[in-house]
Structure formats: C-alpha cells, structure tokens
Structure 1
Amino acid sequence: MQYQLSDVCLGDIDMLVRQCELPAMSRDPLKMIMFPNADPSPEEEEEETKWSIEYLQESLQNDSCYFRKVTDSSGCYAGFAIWTLDPSSTVTGHKTKSTQKRRESWNPASLDVRAWIEVSNLLREERQRVLNGQHNIWRLTTISVTPEHQRQGVGSMLMQWGCDKADSCGWNSFVMASPDGVPLYTKFDFKVVGQVQIKHGAFTSMFRESRPFIERSDNNTDNSIKY
C-alpha cells in the first residue's frame, strides 16, 4: 500500500482524533487513568472527543509543535505524530511562542482530574531527571496509528521524519513510551533510561542522541512510500 506523509492543518484535527487517536489509545495506561469509566455513555464519549480535538487544535497553533500526518492511497487518515521542541530546554536561535494553556473550566465530567495531575507530575519528574538541564530537546509527545494500518510502516514513517529532523538540527530526542511503543522507538535507536510504574502499566523513558545527518536519496520523508 502507498502512504503519503504531509503537514497537518486545522481541518484535519477532528478526524485525526476520531479515526486515529481514540482507537489507538484505547489500551494506553494514561488514558485509563484519566478516564476510568470503561463504558462511557455516548454523551461522555463525545465530550471526551471534543476535549481532545480542542487540545490538538491549540497545540497546532504553537510554534514549538510539529505535526505530521500519514494518509493512504485513497486519502484516508492512517496516523499522525506530534514532535515538540521542548520550550523549557530551548536556547537562543530556536525561539518559540509560549504554550497556550488549556482552559481549566473546560474539562470533561468523566475526567479524573486528581489522578491525571498525579500521574502527569510523576512523568514530568522523570523527564526532568533524565534531561537534567540539557538544551534543545526534541520530544515525541504523540504518535497514533489507526488499528487497520498498524504494522504496515506508518509508525516508522512518522518516526523517520522526526529522527531526520532531530539529526539535521543536532537535537537529542526524548519520549515517555507506553508499553506498545517501546519496540518501535527501540528500532530508531532510542535507549531505555528509566521507568514510571502507574496503576495500569508502566511508561518507559527513552532517550536518543543526535547522529550525523545523511540526507536520504529516496526523499520519502516528505513525499510518499510504499509498504
């Protein structure tokens, strides 16, 4: 199957959440902490979906966030990723806008805010421990592949773009990996440096050092690739 890698626009966000993020995140430990009700009503599910859509729309307007999507030959969404040049680690020459904050008044009723904050604090502490004052850290914050397109190279396509970007800019990379993501990140030379155990599983902190950048002759990073 042929896949196309391209930029993301605001008009993509709704369907990227509905078709990619929600199905891909169904077993994610953080999602199960945040939304403990395993059988939400249709109204609760739609509210959670709209909350996620708004968050991604806000992120897309942040200069420190880099979105890429993958579509199949029919134009259907296969997956997307968000890479972020961590504003807290950015030095002169890589200026970014301040991150927009989510409006606290707009939280789904089904969100366990206390549990979400507790786990977020644990993940943040682990990130700070690993990075420890390093500059220009390139973080993979989201990668979601529609279930029917998994194990067909879509995730690798998104990872290759991010790693090429990091290497071309001389940035080291970091990700807090869910259990399902560890094998993919290992394939791209991310090394395990720690772990955070939470109620529904563990998040693994992984770090990748920048390597000398060699531009690929196939130019697949910005166009298309077949799997």
Structure 2
Amino acid sequence: MPSFIIQEVLVENIPALSQLWYTAFSIPVNLRMFPDTPAIREWWDKANRHDLLHNPYRTYLKIVDPGQPDALVAYAKWDLDPLASGEKFPPWHDESDQETCEHLYTVGSENREAFFGDRKHYYLDMLVVHPECRRQGAASMLIQWGCDLADQNAKPAYLDAHEDAAPLYRKFGFKDRTDLGVSSEGSIAMIREAQC
C-alpha cells in the first residue's frame, strides 16, 4: 500500500486537476457537458484558479505519493461555507452542453438548499481519484479530512454521490437522503451530521 500524503493544492497544480478530472470522469454525460477541448480545459483551469486564489471558503486538497511527488493521485474541493462562497461555477462555456450542466448542477444545489436552508454546513464539492490509484486509501484521506473538520466545528456535511461511490461515503457516516430526490444521472444526496 503506498504511503500517500495530503497537501494543499498549489496554483501550479491547476492544469493537473483538469487532466485528472478528464482521466477519471470521461463518461458520456460528463463529456457532453464538458467536451475535452482546449477551451473547456482553460475554462476549468480559470474556475479552479479563481477559487484557489479568491475564495476563502473553498479548500483544495491533493494526495501525492512521496515516491512520485509530481504525479497527482487525487484531489478534493471542500466548500466550508456554501452559503457565503457564491456560485459553484462561472458561466458555462459556449462549447458546453449548457442545458445539461444547468440541470445537473441545479438539482444538487436545490437538494442541498432544501435540506439546510440557512444552516451552516460543509460541502464536498469534488472528489477525483486517478483510476490506477483507486481503492488505495486516497479518497478516504480526503473524506476524513473534511469529516474531522466538520466534527471539530460541529457542522453537518453534504455531498452528491454517484451510486458506485455511495458505499464509501456511508463508511464515514454519510446517509442517503432519498427524500431529497435522486437526479436522472443517479446522483444521490448524502448528509452526515457532526459526530461530536
């Protein structure tokens, strides 16, 4: 088992985030929303760079293998105050399927808002693991980081899980909230109350 370490993402890592996203998530619905073109990669880079440099509520973390420190194993984006952090994305790029993007991401936001209202919470906005590094503990490290912080600050946490990933999140105390609805793409709203 590799001895991974968790670190904050640096500005110079931003292109690697986009590359990893496409390596891990190149399924038809994602490629319809975000075609793998230079312009869309630039859109991703700008969105992540803006968050990293200008949004104090969004924390980007990466997992690296000390034996290969330049290779990104995984990354996560935790939003520590979704009520204050603003829009999740900049305006959709012209090359994106804007209707699908709007539908998918509006459903998740509406689910979260319906449950929490004005209640402060943490949001695991993004979790990406390189396909060759799955089931080696990287995702668990990134989830645990947020859960520990949520417990320390007595905050609940929210995420939208793909059905295949839901069992992992359940191990950390996230519970399905099927009463909030499940999108047509199979995203499951999951909530974890603080464990103080």
Q: Do they superpose with TM above 0.5?
A: yes
Q: Unmatched 5+ residue regions in structure 2?
A: none
Number of equivalences: 190
> Does structure 2 retain, via aligned residues, the 8 Å contact 1:126–1:196?
no
Specify the alignment match of 1:85 in structure 2.
Answer: 80
CA–CA distance in 2 between the matches of 1:125 and 1:33? 22
Supply the AA of the counterpart residue of 1:74: Q
Which secondary structure does the structure 1 equivalent of 2:68 belong to?
coil
Are 1:67 and 2:52 an aligned pair?
A: no
Say yes or no: does 1:47 pair with 2:32: no
Residues 130/108 of structure 1: CA separation in 2 closer, same or farther (3 Å cut): same
Residue deviations 1:29-78 (CA, integer Å, cap 9, x gap): 5x25524xxxx6xxx52222221111111111200101110001211210
- Please report the RMSD computed on the Cα atoms of aligned residues, expressed in angstroms: 2.1
Q: TM-score, normalised by structure 1?
A: 0.76
Q: Which has the higher contact order (CA 8 A, sep 6+)?
A: 1
Which amino acid in structure 1 is aligned with residue 122 of structure 2? Answer: W
Deviation of 1:101 after TM superposition, in Å, equals 7.8
Q: How far did 1:120 drift?
A: 2.4
Q: Note if 1:132 corresponds to 2:117.
A: yes
Residue identity over aligned pairs, in percent, reads: 28
Q: In structure 2, how many angstroms separate the alpha carbons of the residues matched to 1:167 and 1:28? A: 37
2:10 pairs with 1:5: no
2:82, 2:123 within 8 Å by CA — same for their partners in 1?
no
Give the aligned partner of residue 34 of structure 1: 33
* 8 Å Cα contact 2:108-2:160 kept in structure 1: yes
Residue ranges of structure 1 left out of the alignment (5+ in a row):
89-95, 213-227
How do 1:206-221 and structure 2 match up within 5 A? Answer: 206-212=190-196
State the 1:22 CA deviation.
1.3
2:164 maps to 180
For residue 196 of structure 1, report the CA deviation from its aligned partner. 2.1
Q: Which AA in structure 2 matches 1:59?
A: D
